[in-house]
C-alpha cells in the first residue's frame, strides 16, 4: 500500500471552500495541477491516475449569524463522497494523493484510509490544531474541526462518515508547526494527550529532532501514516496564498527537510495538501511550493 513500493498514485481534487471563511480555496486543486504536479511525480517514476475533482455543490444557502457548524450538510456530503473514493482507490492498491480545498476535507480522506488501515498514524502540519468542536469554535468554520472529527469528537453527521467506529487514536497523532491555538483546543489537546510540536519546539530543537520524535510517535504500533499538510503551517513569506496566515511559521527548507525525512522513513499510505488559495497568492508561489513539497515527500532530492 506504500507509494514508494507500488509507484501508483491516484490524484483526487476536492474544490471545497465551505469549511473556510474566505473564498478562493476551491481553486487550490487546479492551481496545484497547473503547477505541473503530475509531470513532477512522473519524472520520479510514479504512475499517476488523475481522477479529477470530487463534486462540490457551489450553490448553497448562506449560513445564519452565529452558526456553529457552517455548511454542515454539504461538507458532510463532500466528505462522504471523498471517503468512498479513497477507500476504493486504496482497495485497488493505489496511493491516494488529495489536493484541497480547505482542511475540512481531511475528514473524508482519513475516514477513507481507515476503511483499510485500522491503526493509522497522522502527521498534521498546520499553524492551527483543528481540534475545535461545536462547543468550542469561535468561527463555526468546520476546517478548524477536522482533526477532532477524525479522533471521534464532534457532530454526529461528521463523526459517522465511513462508520462511527472508524477513528484515529490520540497517541498516534502529532501536530507540527502550531502557533495559533484556541483556548478550548488547548484543553482538548491536554486532555487527550496529543503531542504538539509548536514553532517554539522547532526553534529550540530544530526540524530534524522534531521529525525524529514525531516519526517515532506516528509509527509506533501503527500500520501506516497519513500526511495532512496545510500550507499555512509555513511562514506567510514562503506560502502567502492561504486563507488564515499566521506569521512565524516553518521555513521553506524546514518544510522540505520534514518531507524528505518522511520519505526516508517509508511509512506513508496517503497524503493531502490543503488550503492553497490562489486568490490570495503571489504569482502562484504557494501552489508551486505545494508541488515542490509533494516532490520531496515522494523522493525528489537536490542531488
- DSSP secondary structure string for all residues of 210-249: HHHHHHHHHHTT-S-EEEEEEGGGB-TTT----SS--SS-
Please check whether residue 302 lies inside any domain of the structure. no
Tracing cell 499517476 back to the chain, one arrives at 48
26 assigned binding-site residue: no
Catalytic residues: 103, 126, 128, 130, 143, 230, 232, 275
pLDDT in tens, 113-147: 999 999 999 999 999 999 999 999 999 999 999 99
Domain that holds residue 248: 3-297
Over residues 234-249, mean pLDDT: 98
105 closest CA partner among 177, 26, 21, 215: 26
Please check whether residue 16 lies inside any domain of the structure. yes
List, in order, residues 6 or more apart from 227 with CB less than 8 Å away.
123, 125, 262, 268, 270, 271, 272, 297
Please check whether residue 232 lies inside any domain of the structure. yes
Please check whether residue 303 lies inside any domain of the structure. no
Distance CA(87)–CA(120), nearest Å, equals 14
Count of domains observed in the chain: 1
Lowest mean pLDDT among 62-71, 207-216, 223-232, 241-250: 62-71
Q: CATH number, domain at 212?
A: 3.40.800.10
Tracing cell 461538507 back to the chain, one arrives at 75
- Cβ(122)–Cβ(175) below 8 Å: no
11 closest CA partner among 3, 22, 21: 3
The answer to whether the bond into 80 is cis (omega within 30° of 0) is: no
Supply the pLDDT for residue 21.
85
DSSP H helical ranges for 44-170: 72-91, 106-113, 146-150, 156-159
Supply the pLDDT for residue 64.
82
Instruction: Kindly report the pTM of this predicted structure.
Output: 0.97
Distance CA(271)–CA(163), nearest Å, equals 21
128 assigned binding-site residue: yes
Say if residue 144 is exposed, middle or buried (CB neighbours under 10 Å; 0-12, 13-18, 19+).
buried
283 assigned binding-site residue: no
Over residues 158-181, mean pLDDT: 98
pLDDT in tens, 41-55: 999 999 999 999 999
103 assigned binding-site residue: yes
In the chain the first and final C-alpha atoms are separated, in Å, by 27
181 closest CA partner among 232, 155, 144, 207: 144
Over residues 201-218, mean pLDDT: 98
Please check whether residue 92 lies inside any domain of the structure. yes
230 assigned binding-site residue: yes
- Cβ(253)–Cβ(208) below 8 Å: no
Lowest mean pLDDT among 4-8, 92-96, 181-185, 191-195: 4-8
Over residues 265-292, mean pLDDT: 98
Tracing cell 471523498 back to the chain, one arrives at 82
226 assigned binding-site residue: no
> What does the radius of gyration of the chain's CA atoms come to, in whole angstroms?
17
Amino acid at each position: 500500500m506504500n507509494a514508494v513500493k507500488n509507484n501508483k498514485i491516484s490524484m483526487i481534487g476536492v474544490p471545497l471552500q465551505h469549511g473556510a471563511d474566505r473564498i478562493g480555496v476551491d481553486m487550490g486543486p487546479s492551481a496545484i495541477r497547473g503547477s505541473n504536479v503530475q509531470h513532477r511525480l512522473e519524472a520520479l517514476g510514479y504512475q499517476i491516475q488523475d481522477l479529477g475533482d470530487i463534486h462540490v455543490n457551489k450553490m448553497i444557502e448562506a449560513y445564519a449569524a452565529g452558526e456553529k457548524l457552517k455548511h454542515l450538510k454539504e461538507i458532510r456530503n463532500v466528505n462522504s463522497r471523498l471517503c468512498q473514493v479513497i477507500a476504493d482507490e486504496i482497495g485497488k492498491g493505489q496511493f491516494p494523493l488529495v489536493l484541497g480545498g480547505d482542511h475540512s476535507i481531511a475528514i473524508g480522506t482519513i475516514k477513507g484510509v481507515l476503511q483499510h488501515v485500522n491503526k493509522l498514524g497522522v502527521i498534521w502540519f498546520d499553524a492551527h490544531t483543528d481540534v475545535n468542536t461545536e462547543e468550542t469554535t469561535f468561527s463555526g468554520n468546520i476546517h478548524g474541526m477536522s482533526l477532532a472529527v477524525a479522533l471521534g469528537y464532534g457532530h454526529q453527521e461528521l463523526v459517522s462518515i465511513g462508520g462511527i467506529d472508524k477513528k484515529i487514536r490520540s497517541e498516534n497523532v502529532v501536530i507540527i508547526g502550531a502557533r495559533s491555538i484556541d483556548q478550548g483546543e488547548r484543553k482538548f489537546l491536554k486532555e487527550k494527550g496529543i503531542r504538539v510540536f509548536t514553532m517554539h519546539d522547532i526553534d529550540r530543537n530544530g526540524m530534524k529532532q522534531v521529525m525524529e520524535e514525531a516519526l517515532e510517535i506516528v509509527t509506533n504500533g501503527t500500520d501506516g501514516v497519513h500526511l495532512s499538510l496545510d500550507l499555512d503551517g509555513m511562514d506567510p513569506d514562503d506560502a502567502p496564498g492561504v486563507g488564515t496566515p499566521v506569521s512565524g511559521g516553518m521555513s521553506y527548507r524546514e518544510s522540505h527537510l520534514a518531507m524528505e525525512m518522511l520519505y526516508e522513513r517509508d511509512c506513508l499510505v496517503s497524503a493531502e495538501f490543503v488550503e492553497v488559495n490562489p486568490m490570495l497568492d503571489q504569482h502562484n508561489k504557494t501552489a508551486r511550493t505545494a508541488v515542490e513539497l509533494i516532490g520531496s515527500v515522494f523522493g525528489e532530492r537536490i542531488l
